[in-house]
Amino acid sequence: MPLQICSENEGKVLAVRVEGKLTGEDYERLVPQVEQAIKEHGPLRILFDMHDFHGWTAGAVWKDTKFSLRHFKDIERLAIVGETRWQKGMSVFCRPFTKAQVRYYGREDEAHAMEWLHEGLMAVIP
């Protein structure tokens, strides 16, 4: 499955795992879920986990740009987990498009990325 979305901490933290190439159709699934979480919880913290990721289609780039401009202030923290040098470069490239604190983590540090996203949030007890 090229796109998987799950939430933690009662929806305040979203984990988005992508494989292959993101398409405009993937954004049609992703954006409403993120916007609903923002509506319910305010600014979010997002883990963007790229596994064997090959980039975006042109349609997906356009949808991503529109989303970033519309939700410039709605993301508090963005942890990017990746496997390649160009993916690490994305963490620098995306900074002007968001007010979020952005950090890159290698695959081996994914647990640290989640710790950073949860840092300072009240623990949710089931």
Q: What is the greatest pairwise CA distance in the chain?
A: 42
Is residue 81 situated within a structural domain?
Answer: yes
Is residue 124 situated within a structural domain?
Answer: no
Is residue 75 situated within a structural domain?
Answer: yes
In tens digits, what is the pLDDT along the chain, a chain of 126 residues? 577 888 777 778 999 998 988 888 888 888 889 899 999 999 999 999 988 888 778 877 777 777 877 788 899 999 999 887 766 666 666 666 678 888 999 989 999 999 999 998 865 544
Map residue 63 onto helix, strand or coil. helix
Domain count within the chain: 1
pLDDT at 124: 52
Q: Which CATH number do you get for residue 47?
A: 3.40.50.10600
The neighbour count for residue 120, using CB atoms within 10 Å, is 9
Is residue 79 situated within a structural domain?
Answer: yes
Q: What global pTM score does this model have?
A: 0.81
Instruction: List C-alpha distances in Å: 71 to 17, 20, 97.
Output: 20, 25, 9
Round to whole Å and give the CA distance between 113 and 93: 19
Q: Which amino acid is at 89?
A: G
pLDDT at 88: 66
